[in-house]
Amino acid sequence: MTKQLLLGQTLGFSGNPLTGDWRDAVNVDSAGAVLIEGDRIAQIGPASALRAAHPDAPVTDYGDALISAGFVDAHMHYPQTGMIASWGKQLIDWLNTYTFPEEARFGDPAYADEIAGRTLDLALDHGTTTLTSFCTIHPASVDAFFGAASARNMAVIAGKTCMDRNAPDNLQDTPQSAYDDSKSLLEKWHGVGRAQYAITPRFSPTSTPEQLVALGALWAEHPNCLMQTHLSEQLPEIEWVQGLFPEARDYLDTYESYGLLGERGLYGHAIHLTPREIDRLREVGAAVVHCPTSNTFIGSGLFDLMGLAKAGLSIGLATDTGGGSSFSMLRTMAAAYEIGQLRGMALHPAQLMWLATEGSAQALHMSGKIGHLGAGAMADITVLDLASTRAISQRHARATDIWDALFPTIMMGDDRAIRDVYVAGKRRA
């Protein structure tokens, strides 16, 4: 089996730095090494020891660059890549003005192929090795995304977005077609290579109770799949949900009542949760996904990261492209820090890096497989240049420890900070 040895500063985690002292959860080696065998990480340790133990392994020496697990984006919309950073709307108007017209274009398989490839390449440019994406109602959009990911050997999660009301006619399916198309796509892609299928109602306002029942039934038939949707993103949205589902106890109940609340559920945004919703999400072991650049860009609100972490919820981090305004998980971490400050909590760089790797992997039920710099994980790796621009470099020169060196890259870094990316052990050309 082919070996290779990467040398540099290494950053890994042995625990969750959000729920205890972050110092007890991190593993940093300023002269570390990663041994890759084939497509997996075989060992992490001191560079001197691994070089001595594996003298035949080709060496790539990254100096003082930081070797991390590849970033894991737990919630995004690849069909919105072309319309990212569109001006001036909040959620419902934003969907009608920008999102739905763009998603209608994905009935063209060639266009879907083009955008899927573009999205994945942009993600890799920014050090992201796994994406969790909503597609459109068109099965071809799902095929395009999984096909493009397969060509790059990337681990991805995706599903056909289902909507049978409150959307343009050309973007609506039916309860039956949503079930049939999703089942067919699930059977075609789930577990094939590095692909995982997620049953995907967009959100309860765009699905009738009949469609939610159908998708809940499909999830019950395939409980090893993920289910992804949106929850409590904006206050006007919550009022809309209350009007559409007057019998529901709260927003989460519009999923729970139809079989769409469970351990493998992913609930994007989750900003304005009630105590009952928090309790139920914790009780079933579901995950919520923090989308900080989106939450500020379209004016949704301030996610309570530390409050939900202390409540015992699993939390991932995501760009939410294209409501999110950046493809970069570095920029996403910076936005999470800024929102934390507005809530009176300065997140430590270790906590931010955990969210972008191990935390998102945990939310996706892929702990130890992706987002993990440790033996047995797939060798999806991002190497960060901690002095990538003049502005960052002059701050980096004053750093007193690894965290002081890393934080300016989190706050000011972009694709220029990505020194190298490995996907399943292969360096991206």
DSSP string, 110-167: HHHHHHHHHHHHHHHHTTEEEEEEE--S-HHHHHHHHHHHHHHT-EEEEE-EE--SSS
Predicted pLDDT at 93: 86
343-395 per-position pLDDT tens digit: 999 999 999 999 999 999 999 999 999 999 999 999 999 999 999 999 999 99
Look up the CATH superfamily of 71-327.
Answer: Metal-dependent hydrolases (3.20.20.140)
Q: What is the DSSP letter of 270?
A: -
Above 90 in pLDDT, residue 1? no
157-216 per-position pLDDT tens digit: 999 999 999 999 999 999 999 999 999 999 999 999 999 999 999 999 999 999 999 999
Predicted pLDDT at 96: 87
The per-residue pLDDT of the chain, averaged, comes to: 97
Kindly indicate the confidence band of residue 94, based on its pLDDT and cuts at 50, 70 and 90. Answer: confident
Predicted pLDDT at 53: 97
Strand ranges in 255-321 using DSSP code E only, listed in sequence order: 265-269, 287-290, 314-317
Q: What is the mean pLDDT of residues 136-148?
A: 98
Sequence ranges of the domains in the chain: 3-70+373-427, 71-327
Closest CA to 75 of 235, 289, 234, 349: 289
Kindly indicate the confidence band of residue 89, based on its pLDDT and cuts at 50, 70 and 90. Answer: confident
Enumerate the β-bridge partners of residue 157.
Answer: 132, 196
Q: Are 216 and 178 in contact (CB under 8 A)?
A: no
381-426 per-position pLDDT tens digit: 999 999 999 999 999 999 999 999 999 999 999 999 999 999 999 9
Q: What is the DSSP letter of 57?
A: S
CATH of 3-70+373-427, one of 3.40.190.80, 2.102.10.10, 1.20.120.400, 2.30.40.10: 2.30.40.10
Q: What does DSSP say about strands 71-77 and 128-134: parallel, antiparallel, or unpaired? A: parallel
Peptide linkage before 322 cis (omega within 30 of 0): yes
Q: Are 8 and 61 in contact (CB under 8 A)?
A: yes
User: If 0-12 CB within 10 Å is exposed, 13-18 middle and 19+ buried, where does residue 172 land?
Assistant: middle
Q: What is the mean pLDDT of residues 126-147?
A: 98
- Portion of the chain with pLDDT greater than 90, in percent: 96
Above 90 in pLDDT, residue 91? no
Kindly indicate the confidence band of residue 135, based on its pLDDT and cuts at 50, 70 and 90. Answer: very high
For tokens 């909590």, what's the residue? Answer: 345
238-247 per-position pLDDT tens digit: 999 999 999 9
pTM exceeds 0.95: yes
Backbone angles phi, psi at 377, to 5 degrees: -75, 155
Query: Strand, helix or coil at 347?
Result: coil
Predicted pLDDT at 92: 82
5-40 per-position pLDDT tens digit: 999 999 999 999 999 999 999 999 999 999 999 999
Q: Comparing 96-105, 120-129, 242-251, 357-366, which segment has the lowest mean pLDDT?
A: 96-105
Above 80 in pLDDT, residue 138? yes
